[in-house]
Amino acid sequence: MKSHRKVDKPLGQILVERGVINNTQLKEALEAQKAKGGLIGEVIVNLGFAKEEDIAYCLSLQFGYPYLPLENYDISAEVIKLVSENVCGHYCLIPIDKIGNTLTVAMANPLNIQAIEDLEDTTQCDIQIFVSTPSDIRAGIKKFYHQQA
């Protein structure tokens, strides 16, 4: 796993600095997160303060992983076969390409080390990460895994 340029700021602060949300919305989202749990990005989307794309883009800035919208992306059957649908659904990720021994995956949460380690173990590949939205990933799983059947 390669290290990336990381911005040492919380996601909420990046969203405020980029004008996606304001401080009042951030405070409300943090209170909702404290009460109900969950990832701050999902809480902000669920409250209607931002779109998933805004969150994914800011996550990519925060962690130095590129953002990849999946809607027009075509994934080969060979790549899809490398990772089970259950693993994709469980970790909210989808394999998108394989070049040599490097498997590229789109993930909603690029900090999920367990997911990355599981992929490395099961595929015996180095994992390259892109950030995408949970909706894009779920749509991709539905589209590419169900056309294989």
Cα 94 from Cα 139, distance rounded (Å): 10
CA dihedral 12, 16, 20, 24 (to 10 degrees): 90
**Phi-psi map region of 64: left, alpha, beta (phi>0 left; psi -120 to 50 alpha):** left
Can you say how many angstroms the Cα of residue 79 is from the centroid of all Cα atoms in its chain? 18
Strands in 22-134 per DSSP E: 93-99, 102-107, 126-131
Q: Contact at 8 Å (CB) between 133 and 71?
A: no
Q: Is-above-0.85 flag for pTM?
A: no
Residue boundaries of the structural domains of the chain: 11-63, 77-146
pLDDT tens string for the chain (149 positions)? Answer: 444 556 678 889 989 999 999 999 999 999 999 999 888 898 999 999 999 999 998 988 888 899 998 988 899 999 999 999 999 999 999 999 999 999 999 999 888 999 999 999 999 999 999 999 999 999 999 999 986 54
Cα 87 from Cα 121, distance rounded (Å): 12
Fold assignment, 77-146:
GMP Synthetase; Chain A, domain 3 (3.30.300)
Quote the pLDDT of residue 1: 43
